[in-house]
Amino acid sequence: MKFYSHFIWKIIINNVYLPTESRTICMAKNNIFSKIFHLYYDGFRSMTLGKTLWAIILIKLFIIFAVLKVFFFPDFLKQHANGNEAEYVATQLLDIEH
């Protein structure tokens, strides 16, 4: 088992997993970060169904963080601090009554 995992890792490091056109690009930069980037770049480029799924995921994240925040989560600090945000936070943290 140890030999098998070492063999797989050696294949990954030597860019055997990449198509020939990407392998020539990666060989110019023999950096591990460049190899990892080109691994993901080629993977996303050759996707068909995956691109649609990633688009759905990104649209859902946009809805969750942009749309829902605007309509359902009001700016609590702005409503209660009246322009003195730092003082309001300090009083809430220290429980100082004015």
Average pLDDT on 51-72 reads 88
Q: Is pLDDT of 92 > 80?
A: yes
Instruction: Provide, rounded to the nearest whole percent, the portion of the chain with pLDDT above 90.
Output: 14
DSSP E strand boundaries for the chain? none
Q: Give the pLDDT of residue 62.
A: 92
Q: Give the pLDDT of residue 20.
A: 53
Q: Is pLDDT of 10 > 70?
A: no
Residue 22 CB-density burial (10 A; 0-12 exposed, 13-18 middle, 19+ buried): middle
Parse the chain into domains and list their residue ranges. 1-46, 49-98
CA distance 54 to 63: 14
Start-to-end C-alpha separation, the chain: 69
pLDDT digits 0-9 by tens, 20-54 = 555 555 455 679 999 999 988 888 888 888 888 98
CA distance 15 to 21: 11
Q: Give the pLDDT of residue 26.
A: 45
Dihedral over Cα of 39, 44, 49, 53: its sign? positive
CA distance 39 to 5: 19
